[in-house]
Amino acid sequence: MARSVPETHDEILAAAARHFAVTGYKGTSLQDIAREVGCSKATVLYHFANKEALLSELMAPAIEVLEALDARIAGHIGADAQRVAAEGFVDLAVRFRREIALLRGEFPDLLQQPAFAHIQQISERLIAAFAGHSDRPSARIAALVVLAGIAETCAEFIDIPDEELRPALLAVVRRALEPAA
């Protein structure tokens, strides 16, 4: 009996996520994904226009939350911007740590793809908010280190419960960032 279309679609997504996590986005081919699902490459292409479309669908929920955080941060300055950015990004990173793990080491390359190009501008605004919108190099450096550290920590510690990881990350953020003026 043939598989149903929604089932195959979800199986392709799950297989892609597993392969991206193990061999990376660049190291995974559509043929690898098809082989795991037990279908042809043509079937994968029936469901997804290309590998970028697969990644886009996998990342869509996290990107939606990131865009909402970007909109929330826009209404804040100084210490308030830091707090909103820190709490919002920690929540996002904890919630989507499996997706973050998929991108480990490949984030700069992925930003070059059209579907992800706008993420660079959001990242820059997030760094500015973490720095309390300060122009001081030390504030911007701390902001970038903290952001990268949150993402890396969430990708590394997939099995730590959310209720333990979130407060630990927020405590590190508070210690690492310069207070905004």
Q: What's the pLDDT tens digit per position in 5-21?
A: 557 899 999 999 999 88
Encoded amino acid at 37, one letter: V
Q: How many whole angstroms separate alpha carbon 21 and alpha carbon 91?
A: 21
Q: Nearest-5° angle of CA 156, CA 158, CA 160?
A: 110
The distance in angstroms from the start CA to the end CA of the chain is: 66
The tokens for 49 are 């226009």
| pLDDT score at 105 | 75
| pLDDT score at 116 | 84
Q: Which residue has the higher pLDDT, 180 or 74?
A: 74
Q: What is the CA radius of gyration of the chain?
A: 18
117-149 per-position pLDDT tens digit? 889 899 999 999 999 999 899 999 999 999 999
| pLDDT score at 151 | 92
Once rounded to an integer, what is the mean pLDDT over residues 43-48?
94
**Are 17 and 102 a contacting pair, CB within 8 Å?**
yes
| pLDDT score at 148 | 92
Closest to 91 in 3D by CA, of 128, 66, 121: 66
Q: How many whole angstroms separate alpha carbon 36 and alpha carbon 30?
A: 10
| pLDDT score at 108 | 79
Dihedral sign, Cα of residue 178, residue 78, residue 90, residue 74: negative
What's the mean per-residue pLDDT of the chain?
Answer: 90
Supply φ then ψ for residue 99, to 5 degrees.
-65, -40
Q: How many whole angstroms separate alpha carbon 4 and alpha carbon 150?
A: 39
**Is the predicted pLDDT of residue 3 greater than 60, yes or no?**
no
| pLDDT score at 124 | 93
| pLDDT score at 30 | 96
| pLDDT score at 95 | 96
Supply φ then ψ for residue 109, to 5 degrees.
-65, -40
| pLDDT score at 98 | 87
